[in-house]
Structure 1
């Protein structure tokens, strides 16, 4: 698959993930967060397994791949989703949005540490633009940053664990199809999260019985489209273009989250959001390497001419 197709795939995934923020907010208003998260990820793992079966990709992991399977399940599923759910009950949406927007920066820093990979000046500027864009966009919707609290620490642990998982996925993709890795991670992580929910939310399953039918429509979208297909596609992209390059597209989450909030939750979009949009798009073009590839192609055409 060409880089252009992978970038289009990543943009599509960011649209579903952005809309999924509003969908999850609707879900947790009628259910217990850890319980519904564990069930959502378990349902997604079944969808992924079914797709892998038809693709003929199912196999048992090798001994040297077990570390990536269990490590990815803990980091990408258990820690990320648990700390995210906990943090959102203690901190503001502004603080959470800003900290989650640090994902691409954390990923490229971790890539530099583990792979001794230094970004070019253009890509580094892209990460800075992306972070600024996320900051402008989130701040525009709430008016400022509140005081740091333990919820902020939880959100930071959430995005840090996800960034670490991207590094593991990048390494595992050398011998294991990232889509297969996704299925194993979701299945194992959902069981661990469900065990946590039984301890932390003993009435979680009972509350599901009183949930309205519209909740299950939201559940299916979140589990199948955003979680199963979204994570399969994203982890596949990591294996093709790298963790740092893929992570820059996470900045688009903020934009599409705002669109989803306006459509589904009737939240306002103010002019300052458009300033954030400019920085976010600039960050994607610079940080993903798309601009560098375009410049290189132009140079090669000039040389061949």
Structure 2
């Protein structure tokens, strides 16, 4: 597959993920948040496993791999989607989408803490810029007292997902990330379902009252955003590398803002625009994407110079 084709695929994935924030807002407004999330993740896991089965990629896990999958399920699926579903019920689509844009920066921080990655000046500046952007978004110009319960939960959601990427990176040495994704979604959906039975006793009754539009949004979110989106992104990441793929994540909060305006009629505030600019700069610097692109460009120039000198 040509790089240009991969770039087009990544562009559409980011658009789907950005609009999916609006979809989640609509779903948690119509159904019990944790209950509908458990069914959405279960549906996604069935799609992923069906695709992998057709590709003959499904196999039993080793004892060590099972440990990674269970830990990844708790962080990447249970904690991430629990906090996200509940958080989106109490915050705006625009705020939620912008805070989720911190993913690459938080992943970089987790790598520094747990993988002993070095922190450069540019990465440090990127981290500061990213968190400055979050301050503008959640405070909305009124100070920290205006931080909402939903904003905090969305932040916890993306933090738990970033931590899970460390486990996924370690497990990827022997386990196909796509297969790990399928198992994590399957195990995580079951755990979320039992949590919903405790936290939302009447959650199952809301499923019978859902509208046809609500179920259409449910299917779109489960199949295209969660299942196909994650599989396609992991595939693209393996072909062009993490630095180039990470740059496209900058489009995620942008499309979340567009979705907020188009589908739920939210008004974008100046503080959110400022916050988006800070996060955009923060992700580009803090994720290491800028440094990797610079090193790659420098390496190509040096290689070109050596070749011309010959």
Q: Deviations over 1:195-252 (max 9, x none)?
A: 111222222222122211111211111001110112223445666745x886665443
TM alignment of 1:143-222, pairs within 5 A = 143-147=141-145, 148=147, 153-222=152-221
Cα pair distance change 1:193/1:258, threshold 3 Å? same
Q: CA–CA distance in 1 between the matches of 2:43 and 2:110?
A: 31
Q: CA–CA distance in 2 between the matches of 1:6 and 1:164?
A: 26
Contact 1:249 1:284 in 2 (8 A): no
Q: CA–CA distance in 2 between the matches of 1:67 and 1:2?
A: 36
- 2:31 maps to 1:31: yes
Cα pair distance change 1:259/1:90, threshold 3 Å? closer
Contact 2:38 2:189 in 1 (8 A): yes
Aligned partner of residue 36 in structure 2, secondary structure? helix
- Please report the TM-score for the alignment, with normalisation by the length of structure 1: 0.83
Contact 2:32 2:206 in 1 (8 A): yes
Q: CA–CA distance in 1 between the matches of 2:196 and 2:184?
A: 18
- 2:302 maps to 1:299: yes
- Please report the TM-score for the alignment, with normalisation by the length of structure 2: 0.81
The aligned counterpart of 1:231 is: 230
| C-alpha RMSD of the superposition | 3.3
Aligned partner of residue 66 in structure 1, secondary structure? helix
Contact 1:91 1:152 in 2 (8 A): yes
Stretches of structure 1 that go unaligned for 5 or more consecutive residues are none
TM alignment of 1:1-305, pairs within 5 A = 9-89=9-89, 100-131=100-131, 138=137, 142-147=140-145, 148=147, 153-236=152-235, 241=241, 249-269=248-268, 282-283=281-282, 285-286=284-285, 287-288=288-289, 289-305=292-308
Stretches of structure 2 that go unaligned for 5 or more consecutive residues are none
Contact 1:94 1:139 in 2 (8 A): no
Q: CA deviation at 1:102?
A: 3.9
